[in-house]
Amino acid sequence: MIVLGVALLAACTLIGVYLGDLLGQLLGVKANVGGVGIAMILLIAARLWLSRRGRLTRGVQFGVEFWAGMYIPIVVAMAAQQNVVAAMSGGPIVLIAATGSLILCFGAVALLSRIGRRDPGSAVVEHGGSVIEGDAEPAPVGRPAASLAGKE
């Protein structure tokens, strides 16, 4: 069932954010430490566990992948509510600090990505890209959209 996929995603997010808050408290920080990252790891583990037991149904998969496909629209909505006016009117100190750290960090990415061997990426990575892009293209198990009306 689709809702089970959505519920799985929600449960992972809630547990992850809770653990992130807890980690923050343990470290004495007024912030969530890696909650979303922990949630992502939980979801990856849940996927592996389900697929090993053959419980990863199309419905569950669709429930999660729908939200992955909503990622870009959500990011566009996020962009549309940034405080761009404040960013544009920050003055030279803001511009210099932001640009300087940006250039330095881009440079560091260039350096780090040259460490070790370069990897063109696997089929799993490519498939992930098409899901996140929001194309409901055929997953390895078949086309979810066609089966929804009848099955769920």
Partner 1 sequence: MDHTIWHGIEHVFVEQSLVAAFAVIGGLILVSNYAAKHLTNGRVHGSAIAIVLGLVLAYVGGLYTGGKKGLADIPALAGIGLMGGAMLRDFAIVATAFEVDVIEARRAGLLGVLALALGTILPFIVGTLTAVAFGYHDAVSITTIGAGAITYIVGPVTGAAIGADSTVMALSIATGVTKAVMVMVGTPLVARLIGLDNPRSAMAYGGLMGTVSGVAGGLAATDPKLVPYGALTATFHTGIGCLVGPSILFLAVRALVG
Instruction: State how far the Cα of 8 lies from the Cα of 110, in Å rounded to an integer.
Output: 36
Q: Is residue 50 a contact residue for partner 1 (CB under 8 A)?
A: no
Q: Measured from the CB of residue 58, what is the shortest distance to partner 1 in angstroms? A: 13
Rg over CA atoms, the chain: 20
How far is C-alpha 21 from the geometric centre of its chain's CA atoms?
19
Contact set for partner 1, span 76-95 (CB under 8 A): 76-90, 92-95
Among 25, 49, 71, 148, binds partner 1 (CB under 8 A): 71
Q: Is residue 2 a contact residue for partner 1 (CB under 8 A)?
A: no
Q: The tokens 């761009």 sit on which residue?
A: 84
Question: Which two three-digit tokens encode residue 53?
Answer: 């037991």
Size of the site for partner 1 (CB under 8 A): 91
Q: Measured from the CB of residue 124, what is the shortest distance to partner 1 in angstroms? A: 4
Residue 10: closest CA among 57, 50, 49, 60: 60
Among 104, 140, 149, 150, binds partner 1 (CB under 8 A): 104
Q: Is residue 41 a contact residue for partner 1 (CB under 8 A)?
A: yes
Instruction: State how far the Cα of 11 lies from the Cα of 23, in Å rounded to an integer.
Output: 18
Q: Measured from the CB of residue 101, what is the shortest distance to partner 1 in angstroms? A: 3
